[in-house]
Amino acid sequence: MKEIEAFYHSQYDFNATIHNRFIEEMYELEKDNEYAGNTKDFSVEALRKRYYAEHCFNLIRQKEGTFICYDRENIAAGYEKMDLYEKNTATMFAVKKGKASSTLCYAVDQSLTALKMYKQDKTPDWPEIKNVGLWFILEIKTPLHTDEQNKVDLSSLNMLMLKNRLDHWKKEVRLAGFKPIVYINYRT
């Protein structure tokens, strides 16, 4: 685990207040169009399904300007290209929120599938990729050990199955010629 660079950036932590604020903004934008004639409760619930937490998180990152959201794109092809692309570092990210290995391992699988498709160049409109990343929004009570440079110690993660998958993922990413990176944030 020590071989994988992992970082924590507090500005990306996510919570229900942020999600609710985003849903309210979307409601104000769409209430007179798609949701005209519906009650606010009905419209907000429909928006909450459309903009579920991870999708909301990704769209907020794009709105901030450093990332491009690819979440829910290319699903018809049987895989997702990536959830987020960080422009400054040319990093493709698979993003997953959760508290259990079983949930978070899905992002590892998504990342490996996308990496394979990128290497095969099955989709012509890929951005330049230098790094392959996983971004976990952890729903855990005790944050992982983080040093003064915001580097996270993934070995302090109490999820054996996920750590095994991360080790496999790291090797596959390196064999493909890329640098593996993990971002850790928390659902507060």
In terms of C-beta distances under 8 Å and separation of at least 24 residues, what long-range contacts does 159-168 make, across chains too?
A: 159/100, 159/101, 159/104, 160/101, 161/101, 161/102, 161/105, 162/101, 162/104, 162/105, 162/108, 163/1, 165/101, 165/105, 165/108, 166/1, 166/4, 166/108, 166/134, 167/1, 168/108
Residue 31 per-residue DSSP state: T
- Count up the domains in the chain and report the number: 1
Report pTM. 0.91
Q: For residue 43, is it within any domain?
A: no
Q: For residue 82, is it within any domain?
A: yes
Can you give the pLDDT of all 188 residues of the chain as single tens digits? 889 999 999 999 999 999 999 999 999 998 888 878 888 999 999 999 999 999 999 999 999 999 999 987 766 567 788 999 999 999 999 999 999 999 999 999 999 999 998 888 755 678 999 999 999 999 998 899 999 999 999 999 999 999 999 999 999 999 999 999 999 999 98
CATH number for position 172: 3.40.50
Q: For residue 107, is it within any domain?
A: yes
Q: For residue 21, is it within any domain?
A: no
